[in-house]
Chains A and B, each alone.
Chain A
Amino acid sequence: MQIKQRPVFPGGIHPTDGSDKELSMEAAVQPYWPETVTILSEQSFGGKCRILVNPGDSVKEGQLIGEPDAFMAAPLHASVTGTVLEVKEVANQGRNILACVIRREEKHAEPDAAYCHEPVNIHNISREEILKGLRDGGLTGMGGAGFPTHKKYETDKPIDALLINGAECEPFLTCDYRLMLENGHALINGVRLLLKGSGAQKAYICLEDNKPRAAEHLRNILKQAGESGVLDADEHVEVKVLPTKYPQGGERQLIQAALSREVPMGGLPADVGVIVSNVGTARAAADVILGQMPLIRRIVTVTGSVKHPGNYLVPIGTSVRELVQLAGGVTVEKNRVIAGGPMTGPCVASDWKGEKELFYVTKNTSGILVLPDSAYEEQPCIRCGGCENVCPAGLVPYQIDFAFLEEDYDLCEKLFASECIACGCCSYICPAKRELTVRTRMARDMVKQRMRERAVKKA
C-alpha cells in the first residue's frame, strides 16, 4: 500500500494570519487606462530591449516597439494606442533605464473573445505555433524574476510535468487570486496551451489552501471542459491544493511540494522534467495565441496602508504614483513603498507622500505595497537556530552570516551559500533582528561570482 504523503517542502514560515490578504481579496479587478504610459526597455533585471520607435511615431496597441537585446529579454509591445512622446532615460528603482513614453489617444476596446468564457478547441494549434506565440507575444514570468517564457518551453530536455503557480504565497498580494476567480476560463485555456507547448503529460495548477474558492472555481471549469468534449484525450489538467506556507510559490519549493522532486544544484527545473509558469503567464498565453494580443497588460495589487486596497488591470508602463492615487493615496505618513510582496520585494521609497514618481509597472510587477515604516536594531545572535529551522533550502543562515562578516568566502561556499533563494524566512524569524537575508544573499552572489571566475580560469 502506498502511503499518501502530505505535499510539503521543509522549513518555511507563516508570516501572517491572512488578514493582510483580506484587504484586497474581495476587491474585483478594475481596468484602468492612464493618459500616458512609460514602458521600460528593461522589463526585468538584465532583460534589455532595443527601442524601435521614435518620438512622434503613432503606435497601435500590441505593436512591437522593442526587440530583445539580451538573453533575459523578450519582445516589447506598445500597451496603448497613441503617439510616442519621447524615448528617454527614467530613474527606476535607483537605476536609469531607457523608456518609451506613449500618450494614449484612443479608448481601449475590450474584445469579446470566446476563449474568455468557455473552453475552446485547441486541437489545430501546433506546438510550434504555441512556442512562436510565446516568443512573439513577449511573454515573461509574471510572478518572479521575469524570465522569458519561451526560453523555458524551448528546452530540449524531456518535460513530463507542468506546474502552474497560483500559490501566491507572499502576504498581501491577491492579483493571482483575483485572476483565478475572474479569468478562470482564459486561464484554463492558457494552461492547456502551455501544456501542449511544454510537451508534458500533465499540468498541475498549484494553489494554497487559503484560496478554496479559487480552487473550487477552477475545478468546476475543468469539469465543464471535460464534459464539453473540446478537450483532447491527452490533456490532463489537475488542480492541486497545497498547505499554506511561505515560500510555497518559490519555483524550487513548489516543485518539491507538488512533485517531491528537487532541482539539482546549479540546475533548472527542466533538469527534473518540470516547467513552472505563473497563472498570469498562462492567461497571457491564451491572450496571445487565442486572442492575438501580446503581453501588454497585467493585474497589479495595490494594498497595505492605502485608503482603498484593490486590484487593477493596467497596461504595462502605468505609473505607480497614479495607481496609488487611484487607490486613495497612502494613509500612513511614516511609510515605505514596496514593489511586490513584503518578503522579497525591494523598498522603492520611504516616507512617500504621493508626489514623486516611483516606478512603472513592468511585466513582473505583481503588487505595490505600502507599509508603516519600521526599524530594528540588530543584536547579537543568540544561536536559537530559528533561521536554520525555517530555511527552505536547508542552509544555516547564521553560520553563513558570520562567515560573510569575517569575509571567509571559502567557508560561505562550504556552507552552500550559493543555494540561498533569498526568500527572507531567516530574517523574518530572527529574534535578534539580524539582517540574515541581506547578507546571505550577498554571500551567495559572492560565492557564485567566485565559482564563475574559477570556471573561466579552468577553461
Chain B
Amino acid sequence: MNQTKTIQGPHLRTERTTRNVMLHVSISLIPALLGAVYFFGIRALYLTGLSVAVCVLTEYLWQKLTKKQVTAGDFSAVVTGMLLAFNMPVTVPTWIMIVTAVFSILFVKQMFGGIGNNFVNPALMGRLLTMVVWPGTVMQYVVPRTLSTDAVSSATVLGAVKTGGEAGYSYLQMFLGETPGALGETSKLLLLVGFAYMCYMGIVNAEAALSYIATVLVLTFVFGPAGLFTGDILLNLFGGGLIIGACYMLTDYAFVTRRGRILYAVTAGVITAAIRIFSIYPEGICFGILTANCLAGALSLFQKKHVYGTKKA
C-alpha cells in the first residue's frame, strides 16, 4: 500500500482505522452466519460467500476502472455483502444474488461517491430492489432444516400473522431462529451476540438501536390488530427483522448528539410501525430505515450544537 508520509501533527493517532472498524463488524456477523448454516444448510454459506465476493470484486473493478483510490480492501464491501445475503431466503437463485450485489455496490454505493457518501444503506437498497423486481422469487421462505428435511415453503411468522394466520412458532423458537425467514435475520440471539461484541469494541452506540426498537414495539402494541393496546410485543420483537435492522442497518453515524440520534431512530421506528400496522407488508424495516436515511439531512438540522464562545441558544 502506498502510504503518504504525514509530517504535520498531531503525531499521535488512534489505532482504529476504517478497515478495522469494518473488520470488527464483519466478525460480529459471524455468529449469525453460523446460525444461518445451521438452520438453512450449507447453501447459506455459499450465498454469503458469493455475495461478499461479488461486492468486493465490483468495488475493486469500479475503483480500478475509474482510477479512484482503491478502498475495496477496507472490509466495508464485505459487511455490505454479508448483510445483503442475510436478507435473502436460502432459496434465492444465484443470479439474483449476483445482480443484487452488483446493484448495491455499484449503483447505491460507488455511484454516489463510495464509502461514506452513499446516502442510504446499500444492503437495504439491494433488498428493496429484489422485493420490488422479483417478489415471487425472494419471498420464498423455507422452514429451517432442523424442523423439516424437505425445503418446505412457508410464510415468515410476521407474514403469516399479517394474513390472518397463526404464528405457528413459539417465542423461544423465534428468539433462537428456528423459524422461516431470511438467512441471517432469524436468530435474534446470535445477532444480539454480534451486536454486544460491537458495543464492547466501542464501534456502535446502542442508543439508536434501542430507541428504534422501543418506538416500533410501543406503536405496534398501542395500535394492535384488534384495537388499542392489543399488539403482540414479543411477536413484533422476535418475529421479523427488527433486530437485524436495529443493530446493523440503522447506521446512526451521521448523528453525534444524543438528541439527533434518537430523533433519527424514532423517525425510522414510526415509519416501520406504520407500515407494519397499515400496509400489506409485514415487516416495514426496510422502508422505515431507508426513509430515515433519506431524511437524515433534514433531521440533522434539529441537532442542538453549541460552538465554544458563541451565545447559547
Contact = CB atoms under 8 A, between A and B. Distances in A.
Interface in B62-88: 69, 71, 74, 76
Contact of A382 (B3, B13, B116): B116
Interface in B285-313: 305-310
A21 B154 CA distance: 63
Nearest to B3: A375
A297 interface: no
Interface stretch (A191-199, A280-288, A389-397): A389-397
B307 A378 contact: no
A379 B74 CA distance: 10
A336 interface: yes
Interface stretch (B15-23, B47-55, B177-185, B214-222): B15-23
B197 interface: no
Interface of A is mostly: loop
Contacts of B6: 374-376, 435
Interface in A245-262: 252, 256, 262
Contacts of B114: 380
A346 interface: yes
A346 B308 contact: no
Size band of the B side of the interface? 35 or more
A135 B1 CA distance: 54
A382 B9 contact: no
Contacts of A385: 253-256
A346 B9 contact: yes
Given A377-B2, A435-B6, A171 B307 contact: no
B14 interface: yes
A16 B255 CA distance: 26
Contacts of B132: none
A342 B12 contact: yes
A419 interface: yes
B115 A347 contact: no
B149 interface: no
Interface centre among B18, B114, B306 (most CB of A within 10 A): B18
B70 to A, nearest CB: 10
Nearest to A265: B309
Given A15-B12, A256-B308, A416-B307, A381 B17 contact: no
A251 B263 CA distance: 35
B113 to A, nearest CB: 8
Nearest to A389: B256
Nearest to B310: A265
A379 B13 contact: no
Given A383-B116, A416-B310, A437 B9 contact: yes
B227 interface: no
B11 A374 contact: yes
B279 to A, nearest CB: 30
Contacts of B7: 336, 347, 350
B256 A437 contact: no
A346 B10 CA distance: 8
Contact of A395 (B16, B71, B76, B307): B307
Contacts of B20: 431
A343 interface: yes
Interface string B235-262: 0000000000000000001111000000
A327 interface: no
B13 to A, nearest CB: 6
B117 interface: yes
B148 interface: no
Contact of B253 (A256, A264, A384): A384
A336 B6 CA distance: 11
Contact of B115 (A378, A382, A388, A428): A382
Contacts of A433: 13, 17
A438 B7 CA distance: 10
Contacts of A393: 307-309
A183 interface: no
B220 to A, nearest CB: 30
7 contacts: A265-B309, A375-B4, A383-B116, A389-B256, A394-B306, A419-B307, A435-B8
